[in-house]
A and B are shown apart, each in its own frame.
Chain A
Amino acid sequence: MQAKETITRLVLFGAAAAIGFGQGTITVYSSGSVTIGSTRQLSAYVPLSPNTVVWSVNGVNGGNATHGTVSSNGLYSAPASAPADNVVTVRATSTAYPNISGAVSITIVQPTPWVWNVNPSSFPAGQVTITIGGSNLRPDSIVKVNGVTFAPTFVSSTSMKAAGLATGSGKVPVTVTNPGNGAVTSQPFMATVTAPASPPPPAISLVSPGSIQQGSFSLSVNGSGFVQGSLVLFGGAALTTTYISSSQLTAAGSTNAAVGTSIPVTVSNPAPNAAVSGPVNVTIGAAPAPNMSMIKAGRFLEQAAFGPNTASMNKVLQGGIDAWLDEQFAMPETVISIPSGVSQAKGEYLNRLAHAPDQLRQKAAWALNHILVISANKNIYPDEIVPLYQLLSKHAFGNYRTLLREVAQSSQMGKYLDLANSVKPSVMGGANENFPRELLQLFSIGLVMLNPDGSTKLDGGGKPVPAYTQNDIKQFSLALTGWTYPPANGKANWENFSGPMVPLPQFHDTTAKTLLNGVVLPAGQTVEQDMDGAIDNVFNHPNTGPFLATRLVRAMVSSNASPAYIQRVANAFNNDGAGVRGDLKAVFRAILTDPEARQDTAAVTQGRLKDAIYQTVALVRALDGSVNANNQSTYLFTNFNQNILTPSSVFGFYSPMYKVPKSALFGPEFQIYSPTEAVLRGNLIAAILGGNNGDFPVSMAPYQAVAGNVNQLIDKVDQVLLYGRMPASMRNSLTTALNAQYDNNQRAFVALYLTALSGQYAVQY
C-alpha cells in the first residue's frame, strides 16, 4: 500500500534527495497554492526503511479545519476559508526515524478570477459602466480600471457590471480581485480609454418671433446644445436668459435699434466648454398697424350688442356696421315669456341678453332699463316684473312717448311706484306722489333745467335751475289719480297683474291741473285724458331729449361723452328727420353711428367700465359659450351689487351721475365696483374659464390647441378679448407668466384669465 505508492511517485516525479539509512532526507513534492476548499496531492520521497511517514499541517498530525487537513497518503485539503496565516507547512515525518522529515509550503488562496472580456472595451475618459465577462466572479469581487476601483454590480460567477470614473488614456488594465486572506487578482484585461467627448457647441434652429418692435421684447430660441448658464446674445449683448432645456431658451431685453435693421442673435455657452453658436437674425419691424377693422367691429358690437361672438364679429367685418344695423332694426323681436318664479326670470334674462339674435333690441331695452327701473325687491312675482321688460323690448325701436305711456299705465309700475289706487285727496289721504315724482325726476326731465347738450343750465347767479317744484309734483299727482288694478268692476282692486291698470273715474281728481311750461289740463278730464296730458307734458319738455341722451350714451358707449355728442343724440330725439319726436330707432342709430362712438383710436377719457351683467354675458359670448336659462348662479350677482332684475331702488344699479373715485370723470359703473366686487367678479371669471361653473359653459379647446406656442396663444386671446389692442408690455408680461405654467391647459387659462382681469378688458373703450 503505502510503500508501493511511494515508489510509484518516486518514479513519476523523478526528483530525489539524498537518502541514507538512518540518515538522509525526505523530500516532499510540492509547494504551491491551493484554493480554499480544494485539494492538492502531495508526495514524499522516503529513502528509508521502513519508509512510512506521518503527515502533518503546521505540526498537527493530519492537520485541522483552520489550516487544512492532510490525509495519510498526503492529500492536502485546504480549509473552506483562508486563515490570516495562510501559508501552512505540510510535513512528512518518518515514522521510524522521527528526526527525519520533509515539508512543503502551501499557500491557501481565494479562487482566481478571470476577465475574459470587457464591454465596452474602449471608452472615453469619464464616467463609464462596463460589463465584465469572466469566471470565478463573486459578489465581493473588486473591480479596478487603471487602478481606480469601480462600483461593482454582481450578476453571476461569470458576469458582473462595474461603474466608475475611467482615467488615463490608451491601454489600461481592468482587473478583478477576489478579496480576503489569500486574495487573488485576475490577469488584467487591457481596455482602451479614449479622450473624453466635448459637448456639442450650441446651435440655433429658430428664433421666435423673427421680427420685434422697439422697446421691450421676449424671444424664444430653439436649437441644441444649450446648457444651464447659456446666454442669448442680442447683437452681442447678453439678454436675461432662462434655460428651459438643452433645446430651448427664452430671453428678454429691450432695444432702440432702428426699424429695418437686422440684429444677429447667438447663444453663448459658458466654460468649461465655452462656445458661441452661429447667428440667426431678428429684424426690427415697425409697430404693426392695429387691425383697425377688427377694432372697429369689436367696439361697435360692444356698444350695439352684448359684445361680439365669432358669428357677429364676422358679420360686421364682412357686411359693415350700417348693414348690421338695418338687419337688426328689422329683425323680429325675441318673445319674452313670464316664467313661474323670479329666480327663473333672472336666468332667462341673462340667457336672452347672451343669445337673442336681436342683440340691438336687447341692448336698447337694457339701456332704457337704466332709466325706466323696476325691482323685484318690491315686485316679487314674475308677473309683477317681467311684463315691464316686455314693454321695454316691444317699444325699444318705437316711440318714447308710447313707451312712457304704457309704462305709466302698467300694473307693474302701478305697484312699484304706488300709482295703483292713488286717489283724489280725501280724508283718507292725498294723491300718491311716488310715481309722479319719479316720472319727472327719473323718467323724463330730471331735477334741473338742461341745455340742449345735457349740461346744467345755470341762472344769473351761477346756480342750477330746478326743473320742477313740489307743487308741480302735487299737480301731476292729481292728474294721475284714478287708476286701479284690473278688472275694475266699479271698485278699487287689490293687486292684479293680468293687464294694464284700468280707470276708476270716481277716484280721479277732476280739477284743473297746472303742469309745466304753462300747460293746463282743464277740469273734468277723464282718467286717460289727464294721464295723456301729463305724459305729453313731460315728453315735450325740452329737457327730455338731453336727459335721455345723456343716460343712454352713458349706458351704451361712454361715461364722458362730449356735450356735442349728447346734443346730436338729443337732436335725433327731438326730430328723427321726418319731423317725429321721440323716435327711439333714430336715437339709437344716432348714438351708434355718431363719429364719437365710432372713434376707434382710443381717446384718453373714452369708454365706460363694464358692469357685472354686461361683462359676464360678453365674456361668454366672446368665447362662443352659453348662458344657461335655468341658471343657478344668478345669486352671485347680488354680491356683485347688481342683483338681476332687483336694483335696490328706482334709481337703478348705479347713478348716471356717479364719478370715478377721486376724479372729475363720470364713472357710473364704479359705484358698484369696489375692491370686493372686483375680486368677486374676477372669481366668477376664473370659475367660468376653469370649467367650474356649469351655468356658463365655454370651451377652452381652441385656446389649448394653440397654447404650445405662447405667441400664438396670446395673439388669439388678444383678438378675441381686446380686438388686437393688447399693449406690447402686457404681451411681454403674459409671455413670462405663460412660460412658467405647467401645460397647455394652464397656459390657456392664464392667458385668458389675466387678460380678463386687466383694465383693458374691464373697460369698454
Chain B
Amino acid sequence: MSTTFSRRNFLRISAGAAGLSRFGAMNALAQGSSYKALVCVFLYGGNDGHNTIVPKSATEYNAYKAIRGNLGLPDQNTPLLDVSAANGTPYGLNGGLLPVHPLWASKQLAAVANVGMLVQPTTRAQYLAGNVPVPSNLFSHSDQTLQMQSGVPSTGGGTGWAGRVADSIQTLNGAATFPPSVSTSGPVLFCTGNVVQSASLFPGFDLTPAGMSVWPESAATARKQGLQAVLTFDSGLAMVQAANKVRQDAMSLNALLKSAGTTNPVSTPFPGTDIGLQLKQVAQIIALRNQVGMSRQVFFCSLGGFDTHGSQSWQHWFLLRSLADAMSAFYNSTVEMGVAGQVTTFTESEFGRTLQPSGQGSDHGWGNHLFVMGGAVKGGDVYGAFPAPALGGPDDANNRGVLIPTTSLDQYGATLAKWFGLDDAALNTVFPNLANFGVKNIGFMA
C-alpha cells in the first residue's frame, strides 16, 4: 500500500530540513509526553556481573572475597562505590561505573539481579537432574547472544524481541515511515521484527550516496535529479516500487541526518569512544522524534570485549568505565531534551561468568546482573533475588558459581515492554515463554 509519490513532493522534501516532512505524518501521539524509547546496550562477551555489583553485607562480602580470590574487589585497579538497596542492604558498584554512580542515589539507576535465559523457573536440583527444559547451548557465545536478542530460549527465531515489540506498537507510530527499530552497531537480530525492519545507522554515516559529487555543479545536480526521477517513476510492478521506496527513504533519511546537526543539535558532550558515538547517534535520532512523527523507538548499541577469561581486573574496569561515561552522557542528553523520564536504557549480555575464577579471569556463566537507567526507572534499588555468593549453592548450576537465573529475560523484557506500552496479549506474543513465569512485571519501572 505504498502511496503514489509525486515528483514534486519528493523533490520538495529532499531539500535539507524540509526532508523531515516525508516522515512527519500527522500523529498526535508523537507530541509531548507520549514518546518513549528503549535503548539496549549489549555487552558482548559475557559481562562479569559478580564484579559489577558486589554484595557488601559482611557475610556475603566475605564469601564473595573468599571465592573470588585474586579477582575479588576492591583491588589495585578498581575501588567499590557504595550504594544501597531501598531496604538498606549495602552493595558496591565496580569503580568503573563512577560516572553513573550518582544516578543510583538520585534513583535513576537500578540493578536487576540474576537475570538470564530460562524456559521456565528452574532449581538447581531440576537442572542437575535434567528433567526440565532449559535453553539450548547455554554456554555458547553465539547461541546465547542470539537467545538474549531473540528472547527465545532455543537457537530458533529469526526475529529479535525488540523487533517484535516494535511490531506490536506500530500503530503508535501512525503512518510515520522512519525506522522504529534502529541499531547503531550494524545489522542485528535484536532489532528485526516480523514486520518492522532493523535499520542500522552507523555513527558518522549519514546515508550519503556515492557518485553524486562531480564537476561542474550542474552535472552533479543533474545526477541527483536523474536519480530522483528514476526512483519515483511508477512502473506498476509491486516489487520494483517497493525497492524504489527503500532508496527514496534513504534519500530522505540522508537529508534528515545531514540537517540534524543544525536543526536539533544535542549539545551534551559525549565521549569519543565507540559506545559514546553510538549513544550520541541515538540521542540525535531521539532529538528528531517530533519532526519524524515517531512515538515509539527501540535502539540497540553494543560494546565488546567482556569475555574476560584472563586479565579481567583492569580490562573489566576499563570497559565499565567506557560504558558508564557514555551512559552518563546519554542520560544527561535525555535531560537536555526533556525526555529523561521517557527513555529507558538497559544492559544485556549473553551470559554472566563463573564466580570461581580461572587464572586471572573467569569462565562462561549463565545468570547475570543487569542494569536499567532512566527517569522512569524506580532507581536506587536491587530487583530480583540477589544470590548469596557460594560454590555449589542453591543457585549454582554446577560448583563454580554459575548462576541459574532467578529472573528470566522474559520477565526483564516484559517489564520494559509493559512500560513501553504493550498490553498483556502483546507481551505474551513477544515473549512466548512469559506464561511460564508468575511475575510478569518485576516492578523497576514507574
0/1 string, B5-27, CB within 8 A of A gives 1: 00000000000000000000000
Chain A neighbourhood of B243, CB < 8 A: 609, 673, 759, 762-763
Q: Which of A418, A639, A682 contacts B209 (CB 8 A)?
A: A682
0/1 string, A639-671, CB within 8 A of B gives 1: 101000000111110010111111101010011
B155 contacts the other chain (Cβ, under 8 Å)?
yes
Chain A neighbourhood of B136, CB < 8 A: 418, 432-434
0/1 string, B132-145, CB within 8 A of A gives 1: 01001100101100
B259 contacts the other chain (Cβ, under 8 Å)?
no
0/1 string, A595-625, CB within 8 A of B gives 1: 0000000101111110000000000000000
A118 contacts the other chain (Cβ, under 8 Å)?
no
Q: Which of B1, B199, B216 contacts A675 (CB 8 A)?
A: B199
Chain B neighbourhood of A608, CB < 8 A: 239
Q: Which of A441, A677, A682 contacts B156 (CB 8 A)?
A: A441
Chain B neighbourhood of A746, CB < 8 A: 214, 219
**Pairwise interchain contact A742-B233, C-beta atoms closer than 8 A:** no
0/1 string, A44-78, CB within 8 A of B gives 1: 00000000000000000000000000000000000
B86 contacts the other chain (Cβ, under 8 Å)?
no
**Pairwise interchain contact B214-A742, C-beta atoms closer than 8 A:** yes
0/1 string, A736-760, CB within 8 A of B gives 1: 1101111000100110011101111
A425 contacts the other chain (Cβ, under 8 Å)?
yes
**Pairwise interchain contact B237-A763, C-beta atoms closer than 8 A:** yes
A425 to B192 alpha-carbon distance, docked (Å) = 36
**Pairwise interchain contact B197-A754, C-beta atoms closer than 8 A:** no
- With A663-B1, A754-B223 as known contacts, state yes or no: A604 contacts B237, CB within 8 Å: yes
**Pairwise interchain contact A762-B233, C-beta atoms closer than 8 A:** no
**Pairwise interchain contact B241-A759, C-beta atoms closer than 8 A:** yes
B113 contacts the other chain (Cβ, under 8 Å)?
no
Chain B neighbourhood of A663, CB < 8 A: 1-2, 238, 242
**Pairwise interchain contact A763-B240, C-beta atoms closer than 8 A:** yes
Q: How far is the CB of A658 from chain B (nearest CB, A)?
A: 7
Stretch at the interface among A404-412, A452-460, A503-511, A725-733: A725-733
0/1 string, B203-231, CB within 8 A of A gives 1: 00101111100111011011101110111
**Pairwise interchain contact A757-B240, C-beta atoms closer than 8 A:** no
A311 contacts the other chain (Cβ, under 8 Å)?
no
B130 contacts the other chain (Cβ, under 8 Å)?
yes
Count of chain A residues near B, Cβ 8 A: 80
A690 contacts the other chain (Cβ, under 8 Å)?
yes
Q: How far is the CB of A287 from chain B (nearest CB, A)?
A: 15
Chain A neighbourhood of B192, CB < 8 A: 671
**Pairwise interchain contact B240-A607, C-beta atoms closer than 8 A:** yes
B322 contacts the other chain (Cβ, under 8 Å)?
no
Q: How far is the CB of B301 from chain A (nearest CB, A)?
A: 15
B268 contacts the other chain (Cβ, under 8 Å)?
no
A734 contacts the other chain (Cβ, under 8 Å)?
yes
Chain A neighbourhood of B158, CB < 8 A: 649, 651-652, 655
Q: Which of B130, B187, B240, B247 contacts A672 (CB 8 A)?
A: B187
- CB-based A-B contact count at 8 angstroms: 212
Chain A neighbourhood of B235, CB < 8 A: 727, 759-760
**Pairwise interchain contact A737-B225, C-beta atoms closer than 8 A:** yes
A758 to B227 alpha-carbon distance, docked (Å) = 8
- With A679-B250, A737-B225 as known contacts, state yes or no: A674 contacts B200, CB within 8 Å: yes
Chain A neighbourhood of B137, CB < 8 A: 418, 434
A686 contacts the other chain (Cβ, under 8 Å)?
yes
A427 to B128 alpha-carbon distance, docked (Å) = 8
**Pairwise interchain contact B198-A740, C-beta atoms closer than 8 A:** no
**Pairwise interchain contact B253-A638, C-beta atoms closer than 8 A:** no
**Pairwise interchain contact B230-A754, C-beta atoms closer than 8 A:** yes
B179 contacts the other chain (Cβ, under 8 Å)?
yes
**Pairwise interchain contact A378-B186, C-beta atoms closer than 8 A:** no
A206 contacts the other chain (Cβ, under 8 Å)?
no
Chain B 146-191 interface residues, beta-carbon cutoff 8 Å to A: 146, 154-158, 179, 186-189
Q: How far is the CB of A211 from chain B (nearest CB, A)?
A: 23
A683 to B202 alpha-carbon distance, docked (Å) = 15
**Pairwise interchain contact A660-B187, C-beta atoms closer than 8 A:** no
**Pairwise interchain contact B155-A649, C-beta atoms closer than 8 A:** yes
Chain B neighbourhood of A660, CB < 8 A: 238-239, 242
- With A437-B156, A665-B239 as known contacts, state yes or no: A742 contacts B225, CB within 8 Å: no
In the complex, the chain B residue whose C-beta lies closest to that of A675 is: B250
A156 contacts the other chain (Cβ, under 8 Å)?
no
Q: Which of B142, B231, B238 contacts A605 (CB 8 A)?
A: B238
**Pairwise interchain contact A676-B237, C-beta atoms closer than 8 A:** no
Q: How far is the CB of B165 from chain A (nearest CB, A)?
A: 17
**Pairwise interchain contact B226-A675, C-beta atoms closer than 8 A:** no
Chain A neighbourhood of B241, CB < 8 A: 759
Q: Which of B154, B238, B253 contacts A665 (CB 8 A)?
A: B238
Q: Which of A605, A665, A674, A765 contacts B246 (CB 8 A)?
A: A674
**Pairwise interchain contact A736-B222, C-beta atoms closer than 8 A:** yes
Q: How far is the CB of A431 from chain B (nearest CB, A)?
A: 10
Q: Which of A604, A679, A740 contacts B218 (CB 8 A)?
A: A740
Chain B neighbourhood of A605, CB < 8 A: 238-239
- With A649-B155, A730-B233, A736-B222 as known contacts, state yes or no: A765 contacts B199, CB within 8 Å: no
A687 contacts the other chain (Cβ, under 8 Å)?
yes
Lowest 4 CB-CB distances: which A-B pairs, in order? A737-B226, A740-B222, A675-B250, A759-B244
Beyond known contacts A638-B186, A657-B194, A757-B247: 4 more, CB 8 A cutoff: A378-B143, A661-B242, A740-B222, A763-B239
Pairs across A and B, CB under 8 Å, 13 listed: A377-B142, A606-B239, A609-B242, A648-B187, A663-B2, A676-B207, A676-B250, A678-B246, A679-B247, A683-B209, A737-B226, A750-B226, A762-B247
Binding site for A on B (CB under 8 A): 1-2, 130, 133, 136-137, 140, 142-143, 146, 154-158, 179, 186-189, 192, 194-202, 205, 207-211, 214-216, 218-219, 221-223, 225-227, 229-231, 233, 235-244, 246-247, 249-250, 253-254
